Amino acid sequence: MPQPIEQIEEVSARADAELAAVKSPAELEQFRIKYLGSKGEIKGLMKLLGGLPKEEKPPFGQKVNALSDRVSNAFEARKTDLESGSQPAMAEDVTEPGRRPQLGNRHILMQVIDELTELFGRMGFTVASGPELEDEFHNFVALNIPKSHPARDPLDNYYVSIDTGEGRSSGFEDNALLLRTQTSTVQIRVMEKQEPPIRVVIPGRVYRPDTHDETHLSMFHQLEALVIDEGVTMVDLKSTIMQFVHAYFGKETKVRFRPSFFPFTEPSAEVDVYFEDKQRWVELGGCGMVHPNVLKACNVDPEKYTGWAFGFGIERIAMRKYAINDIRYFVENDVRFLRQF
Ligand code: DAH
């Protein structure tokens, strides 16, 4: 049997080693019971006091008390470490190089949508949205596109057959459902809900069965705009679009309006922007004065109100702004492309 004084040293060394090896709160509690508990080893050392000669009692008692304090403090410190999730200081290699956190970023198209809605926001436009699964009324009829119009060809649209609970629709009955081919649908939805004055932009996805190549995808995004009020003219349309182009692409950017045709506007125009670097005109999309038939379909009085609208391709805008030469990059999920923006 070692001398009592030696036993103090032995318990002290063991307690230190075991505490350093503790890895969980449960192990820490085991440690506490074993050394600091009412039947623990330190209490056990105190009991040895009774068998010691009188003159040895005080120094022995002081040593055991000192051990008790030291182990209690070390125990508390370890407990704090475990609670804050850190390892004992020894486990950290401070010479190891830091690990740079990998920050993600918003998809470039979403960034462009934010830039566009922010810019139009400063011109007094609010943002509206509508469903991507639409009915023929909102995609065609209310937009003055008659049944005979080639745009309604089943081969040019993603008609959808859907089980409504009242039997499966064929996708070809009256007011069939389809994935919207244009965000102009939301012009109708906004006018159905809101009285003029109206001043909204509508960013959103549209779908067309096109073969994918460097300028075509079967899903892409449009930015629609709609302004309805008393006394709105073509001047408002042209000046707003020119302001937008100059603010977004630069003050010197040339804009051109070409006469065109859309069933839902009269007169209609196509908007081109000239890009000096490519030395060519790039079409942004269509625009025009909202057709009286469209206003009537939404119960807006064409004698009282006039308005204008446009629909631009957002990928096209993004490609021009950020010099992206293939539309397919947007959907290929290649981080080497995505992290550049
Ligand atoms: N919806 C048309 C398209 O997808 C674009 C368009 C043209 C929208 C003229 C408009 C407009 O609002 O006035 O091709």
CA-to-CA dists, residue 142 to 186, 191, 276, 296, angstroms:
11, 11, 39, 9
Question: Rounded to an integer, what is the distance from CA 296 to the centroid of its chain?
Answer: 38
Q: pLDDT tens digits for 272-320? A: 999 888 899 999 999 999 999 999 999 999 999 999 999 999 999 999 9
Is the predicted pLDDT of residue 89 greater than 70, yes or no?
no
Q: pLDDT tens digits for 9-58? A: 999 999 999 999 999 889 999 999 999 999 999 999 999 988 899 999 99
160 forms beta bridges with 177
Burial 92-106 (b: 16+ CB within 10 A, else e): eeeeeeeeeeeeeee
Q: pLDDT tens digits for 203-221? A: 999 999 999 999 999 999 9
Residue nearest to ligand 1 atom 13, measured at CA: 287
Distance from the CA of 46 to the center of ligand 1, in angstroms?
91
Give the ligand 1 atom nearest the CA of 312: 5
> Alpha-carbon distance 22 to 31, whole Å?
8
Distance from the CA of 219 to the center of ligand 1, in angstroms?
16
Distance from the CA of 14 to the center of ligand 1, in angstroms?
81
Q: Answer whether the bond into residue 267 is a cis peptide, omega within 30°.
A: yes
Give the ligand 1 atom nearest the CA of 290: 13
Q: What pLDDT, on the 0 to 100 scale, is given for residue 136?
A: 94
Quick one: average pLDDT of 60-77? Answer: 93
Amino acid type, 175: N
Please report the sign of the dihedral spanned by the C-alpha atoms of residue 247, residue 253, residue 256, residue 262: negative
